[in-house]
Structure 1
Amino acid sequence: MLLEDAEQIITGALFGAALTTSGVFLPSIILEQFDLKNFYMLQVFATAVGSSALVMLALEKLGFVQRPVKPNAPLGSRWTYGSNLVGGAMVGTGMALTGACLGTVLVQLAQGIPSARPTALGALLGGMAYCHVSPKILPRLRPQATDIVKRTIPQAGIHEGIVYAILGIMTAGLLLTSQIWLPATGPWSSVGGLAIGGSQAVSLLLTSAPLGVSTAYEDAGRYILQTFHIDRNPKPSKIPKAIVIAAAISASSVALGKAAVGDNFSHAQPHISVWQALIGGFIMVFGARLGGGCTSGHGLSGVSALSMSSLVTLAGIFGAGILVRLLMQATLRM
């Protein structure tokens, strides 16, 4: 039991350290990505996905783990990936409102970002709401167990070797061009992405599971509902793994301190109102659980495993995030 807890703590601590030192947790980085003004977040993300995919392929070929393909989340009997798309769009909307995702908000809390507290509170309320209503809505959204499948991108007709080649070329290209297009941050996008990919390797080897954060908010929400006897199910005998990892992410960032972020990311952060952060956090968690994962579970781990459901979810995240930011800017100009 103690060994299992230690493995979860190590996994979360390394992931938190990678998110902190890369600077990708900052609201300005996330919002400027959706504004299409700064592609640092995309570079870190692409490098992380590329290295994580290589890790998964190597560990699978060596017989250590089986590739963790994410199942789809149907919407009714006709929309095979409907909830992936809708849930992803909700996550993207929440990110555009808060300047955070469900993993980075834990680091924002540790680093004292003002909008992190209302975002985290909204996320916790979203986890509680999902726990309360999911037993009623999920049977309607996913009427048949046979609708749940684990399908990879190669199974859609694209050869696996071609998919891995595209990921490799994309990652290598970003590694080579990061210093040219982002002279202010230099090689940090490459280093940060590789560090996150290394965290993925540790997670798979120690916990036999890929990186993911959104489950922690659902588990924490269920704890609160059980405390107030709204959820009648008995409390688990030990703290769920997702909550241990989430706590370790924040704790490692606290231990590293503000100095770990460095001068490369010292520019001012945008003002995000309390209500905007609260609503965004709520939408983000509810969407993540509806679609079966967030930017970590689907965007990093799922895409690295070549999961078709994760590709659809990722499209929903970035598509909605960019659209919401465009609408917000248009409203401000009126």
Structure 2
Amino acid sequence: MCAEALYTAGTGAFFGAGLTASRVHLPSVIIDQFQLTDFHMFHVFAAATGSSAAIMLALDKSGIIGRPVRSNTPLGRFSAYDGNILGGLMVGVGMALSGACPGTVLVQLAQGISSAKSTALGALLGGGTYVRFLHLIKKESPQEGTKAAVLSKQTISDKLEISEAVSYVFLGAAVTAILCLTGTRAGSFPISPIAGGLLIGLAQAASLLLTSGPLGVSTVYEQTSRYFLRALGNERVGKLSWPPNAIIFALGVVAGSTALVKQGSLPDVSARGLQIPTWQAFVGGFVMAFGARLGRGCTSGHGLSGLSAMSFSSLVAVIGMFGAGIVTRLLMKALDV
């Protein structure tokens, strides 16, 4: 158990350092992406996803670790992917409001960004609300056979009925197009976004090899809330997991980010860019974390890990995240919010 916790914390530290080095934790970087004024975040995301996909494919084909394809998240409302759709949309809106995603909130806390505490508090409340009221949100099927039929781990090639090779060609073409057809402010940060993305890809490799699981962050808000609600005597939260790997991983992210800057490997640019109002950060954190748990994944779980494993459910969620984030931010700009 001690070794498992150590590996989990170490993987979190590697991931936190990668997020910090790539600078995708800065609110200005996330907001500029959604306003379509700078594509630094897209470049990091593309490089990280492309390298993660190559790593997962190599490990899968070599028989070391199977590809961690993510299942869909049905709520029983209007589609077998309704949880992924609604969750993805909410994550995008929350990111556009807060200038953070569930993973980068932890790095923002480590770097002392002013809005981070409000975002984190909202995210914890969002995770707690999900835990407390999930039984009202998810419509259980009266027939177990029907319920099982809508829950599946389909890849993009399975769903679109194309070969696996073609799906990987499409992913490679998408990554190449993003890197070649969009631009970033050259020289704005110590390392290029592509290098930052590759560091995150290496963190993915560490996670798969050391913990046998892919990267993902948003579970920490649910897990922390479960412990808190159970301490208050709420039995509905169910059995608590031990060790609390999501919390250990999150602490590793904070430690890795802090260590990278404190040892002088990177300059501290935590004050760079715009400041998010307190109320906006809180609301954004709540919506973002609630949505991430509703869809069972965030930009790390669905975007980096799920999409790299070619999960169709993750493709649906990621389209919702970026689409909702862009629309939200453009509306805010048009309304001068």
Q: Tell me the alpha carbon deviations over residues 144-178 of structure 1, each in whole angstroms, 9 at most, x when there is no partner.
A: 23211111011122221122123234445656678
Identify the residue that residue 161 of structure 1 maps to in structure 2: 165
1:108 aligned to 2:108?
yes
How far, CA to CA, are the matches of 2:132 and 2:270 in structure 1? 41
Identify the residue that residue 137 of structure 2 maps to in structure 1: 137
2:193 alignment partner AA? S
TM-score by length of 2: 0.92
Aligned residues of 1:211 and 1:301 also touching (Cα < 8 A): yes
Identify the residue that residue 228 of structure 1 maps to in structure 2: 232
Instruction: Give the number of aligned pairs.
Output: 331
Aligned residues of 1:75 and 1:141 also touching (Cα < 8 A): no
Per-residue deviation, 1:236: 3.7
Identify the residue that residue 183 of structure 1 maps to in structure 2: 186
2:228 alignment partner AA? I
How far, CA to CA, are the matches of 2:238 and 2:288 in structure 1? 27
Query: Structure 1 residues 273 and 69 mapped into 2: Cα distance closer, same or farther (>3 Å)?
Result: same
Aligned residues of 1:132 and 1:231 also touching (Cα < 8 A): no
TM-score by length of 1: 0.92
How far, CA to CA, are the matches of 1:48 and 1:287 in structure 2? 23
Per-residue deviation, 1:74: 2.0
How far, CA to CA, are the matches of 2:141 and 2:81 in structure 1? 11
Identify the residue that residue 290 of structure 1 maps to in structure 2: 294
Identify the residue that residue 64 of structure 1 maps to in structure 2: 64
How far, CA to CA, are the matches of 2:309 and 2:303 in structure 1? 10
Query: Structure 1 residues 266 and 244 mapped into 2: Cα distance closer, same or farther (>3 Å)?
Result: closer
Aligned residues of 1:125 and 1:282 also touching (Cα < 8 A): yes
Per-residue deviation, 1:225: 0.5
Per-residue deviation, 1:181: 5.0
1:241 alignment partner AA? N
Query: Structure 1 residues 59 and 195 mapped into 2: Cα distance closer, same or farther (>3 Å)?
Result: same
1:238 aligned to 2:242?
yes
What percentage of aligned pairs have identical amino acids? 51
1:272 alignment partner AA? I
How far, CA to CA, are the matches of 1:127 and 1:35 in structure 2? 27
Query: Structure 1 residues 266 and 106 mapped into 2: Cα distance closer, same or farther (>3 Å)?
Result: closer
Gaps (5+ residues) in structure 1?
A: none
Per-residue deviation, 1:53: 0.1
Q: Tell me the alpha carbon deviations over residues 99-140 of structure 1, each in whole angstroms, 9 at most, x when there is no partner.
A: 000000100000000000000000000111111011332234
How far, CA to CA, are the matches of 2:107 and 2:290 in structure 1? 20
Identify the residue that residue 262 of structure 1 maps to in structure 2: 267
Of residues 202, 218, 239, the one that matches 1:214 is 218
